[in-house]
A and B are shown apart, each in its own frame.
Chain A
Amino acid sequence: MNAPTTSSGVAGAFISKYRAWFGTAVTIVLIFLMPAVLSTYSLGLLAKYLCYAMVAVGIGLAWGQGGMLTLGQGMFFGLGAYVMAIHLKLEELGPGEVPDFMAQYGITQLPGFWELFRNPVIAAISVAVVPGVIAAILGILVFGRGVRGAYFAILSQALVAAFSVLLIGQSKTTGGANGLSDFSGFFGYDLTDPANKTMIYFICAFLTLGMVLIVRWIRGSFMGELIIGVRDQENRMKFLGYNPASIKVFAFSLAAMFAGIGGAMFVPVVGIISPSDIGVTPSILMLAGVVIGGRTTLLGPVIGTLLVRFAETQLSDAYPSAWTYIEGLMFILVIAFAPMGLGQFKGVWPWLVEKIKGGSVGATAAGAAGQAKAVEA
Chain B
Amino acid sequence: MSANDINGGNVSDNDKETTVTENTTNDDALDAAQLREEARQMRDEARRMRDEVSRMKDEIVSERKRMEDLKDELSVLDDRGGQWSDYLEVKGLHVEFDGFVAVKNLDLTVEHGDLRFLIGPNGAGKTTIIDAITGLTPATGSATFRGEQLLGKKPNDIVKLGVGRTFQTASVVEELSVLENLQLAEGFRKKTSDLFKKVKGVSQNIQYMLDVTGLTADAYKPAGILPHGKKQWLEIGMLLVQDAHLLLLDEPVAGMTPEERQQTGELLKRCSRNRTVIIVEHDMDFMRQFADSVTVLNQGEVLAEGSVEEIQNNDEVVRIYLGGGE
A residues with a Cβ closer than 8 A to B are 217-218, 220-223, 225-226, 228-229, 232-233, 235-243
Distance of A237 Cα from B185 Cα, bound (Å): 8
Residue of A nearest to B181 (CB): A229
> Across the interface, do A239 and B164 meet the contact criterion of CB distance under 8 Å?
yes
> Across the interface, do B199 and A233 meet the contact criterion of CB distance under 8 Å?
no
With A236-B167, A243-B156 in contact, do A222 and B197 touch (Cβ < 8 Å)?
yes
> Across the interface, do B159 and A218 meet the contact criterion of CB distance under 8 Å?
no
Distance of A138 Cα from B187 Cα, bound (Å): 27
With A239-B159, A242-B156 in contact, do A217 and B183 touch (Cβ < 8 Å)?
no
Distance of A233 Cα from B190 Cα, bound (Å): 19
Pick the contact of B197 from A221, A229, A236, A239 — CB < 8 Å? A221
Q: Does B160 contact A (CB under 8 A)?
A: yes
Pick the contact of B242 from A223, A228, A233, A240 — CB < 8 Å? A240
Query: How many Å from the CB of A245 to the closest CB on chain B?
Result: 10
8 Å CB interface, B190-236 against A: 190, 194-199, 235
Q: Can you list 13 pairs linking A and B with CB atoms under 8 Å apart?
A: A221-B198, A222-B190, A222-B198, A225-B173, A225-B180, A228-B176, A233-B171, A235-B167, A236-B173, A236-B235, A238-B155, A241-B159, A243-B154
> Per-residue 0/1 for B160-193: is the Cβ within 8 Å of any A Cβ (1 yes, 0 no)?
1000110100011111100010011101111000
With A220-B198, A221-B195 in contact, do A233 and B164 touch (Cβ < 8 Å)?
no
Q: Does B134 contact A (CB under 8 A)?
A: yes
Chain A residue numbers with a CB within 8 Å of B180 are 225
> Across the interface, do A223 and B188 meet the contact criterion of CB distance under 8 Å?
no
Distance of A221 Cα from B180 Cα, bound (Å): 11
B residues with a Cβ closer than 8 A to A are 134, 154-156, 159-160, 164-165, 167, 171-176, 180, 183-185, 187-190, 194-199, 235, 238, 242
Distance of A229 Cα from B199 Cα, bound (Å): 15
Distance of A236 Cα from B189 Cα, bound (Å): 16
Distance of A232 Cα from B174 Cα, bound (Å): 8
> Across the interface, do B155 and A222 meet the contact criterion of CB distance under 8 Å?
no
Pick the contact of B183 from A220, A225, A232, A235 — CB < 8 Å? A225
Distance of A238 Cα from B185 Cα, bound (Å): 11
Query: How many Å from the CB of B325 to the closest CB on chain A?
Result: 32
> Across the interface, do A241 and B242 meet the contact criterion of CB distance under 8 Å?
yes
Q: A225-B184, A239-B159, A241-B188 are in contact. List 17 more A-B contacts (CB 8 A).
A: A218-B196, A220-B198, A222-B190, A225-B176, A226-B184, A228-B173, A228-B175, A228-B176, A232-B175, A235-B167, A237-B184, A239-B134, A240-B185, A241-B160, A242-B156, A243-B154, A243-B156
With A238-B155, A240-B238, A243-B156 in contact, do A221 and B196 touch (Cβ < 8 Å)?
yes
With A218-B196, A223-B195, A236-B167 in contact, do A242 and B188 touch (Cβ < 8 Å)?
yes
Chain B residue numbers with a CB within 8 Å of A220 are 198
> Across the interface, do B184 and A229 meet the contact criterion of CB distance under 8 Å?
yes
Chain B residue numbers with a CB within 8 Å of A243 are 154, 156
Pick the contact of A222 from B134, B171, B189, B195 — CB < 8 Å? B195
> Across the interface, do A225 and B155 meet the contact criterion of CB distance under 8 Å?
no
Distance of A198 Cα from B7 Cα, bound (Å): 126
Chain B residue numbers with a CB within 8 Å of A229 are 173, 176, 184
Query: How many Å from the CB of A230 to the closest CB on chain B?
Result: 9
Query: How many Å from the CB of A9 to the closest CB on chain B?
Result: 22
Chain A residue numbers with a CB within 8 Å of B164 are 239
Chain A residue numbers with a CB within 8 Å of B160 are 241
Chain A residue numbers with a CB within 8 Å of B185 are 240
Query: How many Å from the CB of B116 to the closest CB on chain A?
Result: 20
> Across the interface, do B184 and A238 meet the contact criterion of CB distance under 8 Å?
no
> Across the interface, do B187 and A222 meet the contact criterion of CB distance under 8 Å?
yes
Chain B residue numbers with a CB within 8 Å of A238 are 155-156
Distance of A225 Cα from B223 Cα, bound (Å): 13
Distance of A218 Cα from B196 Cα, bound (Å): 7
The 6 closest A-B pairs by CB, nearest first: A241-B188, A241-B159, A236-B171, A229-B173, A223-B195, A221-B196
Distance of A152 Cα from B77 Cα, bound (Å): 42
Distance of A229 Cα from B171 Cα, bound (Å): 10
Distance of A236 Cα from B164 Cα, bound (Å): 10
Query: How many Å from the CB of A372 to the closest CB on chain B?
Result: 36
Distance of A17 Cα from B176 Cα, bound (Å): 21
Chain A residue numbers with a CB within 8 Å of B176 are 225, 228-229
Distance of A226 Cα from B242 Cα, bound (Å): 15
Chain B residue numbers with a CB within 8 Å of A228 are 173, 175-176
With A225-B176, A235-B167 in contact, do A240 and B184 touch (Cβ < 8 Å)?
yes
Residue of A nearest to B157 (CB): A241
Residue of B nearest to A230 (CB): B173
> Across the interface, do A217 and B196 meet the contact criterion of CB distance under 8 Å?
yes
Residue of A nearest to B235 (CB): A236
Chain B residue numbers with a CB within 8 Å of A218 are 196
Chain B residue numbers with a CB within 8 Å of A223 are 195-196
> Across the interface, do A233 and B172 meet the contact criterion of CB distance under 8 Å?
yes
Query: How many Å from the CB of B260 to the closest CB on chain A?
Result: 21
Distance of A376 Cα from B188 Cα, bound (Å): 66
With A240-B159, A240-B185, A241-B156 in contact, do A222 and B194 touch (Cβ < 8 Å)?
yes
> Across the interface, do A240 and B188 meet the contact criterion of CB distance under 8 Å?
yes
Chain A residue numbers with a CB within 8 Å of B165 are 239
Query: How many Å from the CB of B154 to the closest CB on chain A?
Result: 8
Query: How many Å from the CB of B187 to the closest CB on chain A?
Result: 6
Chain A residue numbers with a CB within 8 Å of B156 are 238-239, 241-243
Name the residue among B155, B165, B167 with the largest chain A CB count within 10 angstroms: B155
Chain B residue numbers with a CB within 8 Å of A232 are 173-175
Chain A residue numbers with a CB within 8 Å of B184 are 225-226, 229, 237, 240
Chain A residue numbers with a CB within 8 Å of B134 are 239
Distance of A303 Cα from B156 Cα, bound (Å): 39
Distance of A45 Cα from B185 Cα, bound (Å): 47
Query: How many Å from the CB of A145 to the closest CB on chain B?
Result: 13
Distance of A221 Cα from B187 Cα, bound (Å): 12
> Across the interface, do B196 and A236 meet the contact criterion of CB distance under 8 Å?
no
Residue of B nearest to A244 (CB): B156
Residue of B nearest to A236 (CB): B171
> Across the interface, do B196 and A233 meet the contact criterion of CB distance under 8 Å?
no
Query: How many Å from the CB of A166 to the closest CB on chain B?
Result: 34
Distance of A240 Cα from B165 Cα, bound (Å): 9
Query: How many Å from the CB of A343 to the closest CB on chain B?
Result: 15
